[in-house]
Amino acid sequence: MVCGTKGTFQVQPLDDPRVILALDQPRGKFARGLQTIELPTYTRYVDDAVDIARVLRGERAPLYDYEHDLAVQETVLRSANLPVQ
């Protein structure tokens, strides 16, 4: 869920997703107020497993390098007021 000053955006549930969107005013093709947007069914982890298998077999490079992953994890720790070591 993402909440902002002009609306909210919620995806739920993740396995059979739909978006619940609430807007303070019309935005593009979306109306003011609460609406539900249906999405295609998504099976979690399947695409991720296929992708990591391609990386492990050397069929493609990882999308992100070590420095990126380290920066993400350090940011998560800092945002939780935890020490970065």
> In this structure, are 74 and 58 located in the same domain?
yes
85 domain-assigned:
no
Residue 85: pLDDT band with limits 50, 70, 90: confident
Q: Are residues 27 and 53 in the same domain?
A: no
Rounded CA gap, 26 and 10, in Å? 17
Distance in angstroms (rounded) separating the CA atoms of residues 9 and 16: 16
Same domain, 54 and 70: yes
8 pLDDT higher than 90: yes
**pLDDT confidence bin for 46, thresholds 50/70/90:** confident
| Residue 55 belongs to a domain | yes
* Mean pLDDT of the region 35-49: 86
Overall domain count for the chain? 2
Write out the residue range of the structural domain in which residue 75 sits.
46-79
Q: Higher model confidence: residue 41 or residue 73? A: 73
Residues 34 and 53 placed together within one structural domain of the fold: no
Task: Say which DSSP state 31 is in.
Answer: P
Rounded mean pLDDT of the chain?
A: 92
Which tens digits make up the pLDDT trace of 57-84? 999 999 999 999 999 999 999 999 999 9
Q: What is the DSSP letter of 58?
A: T
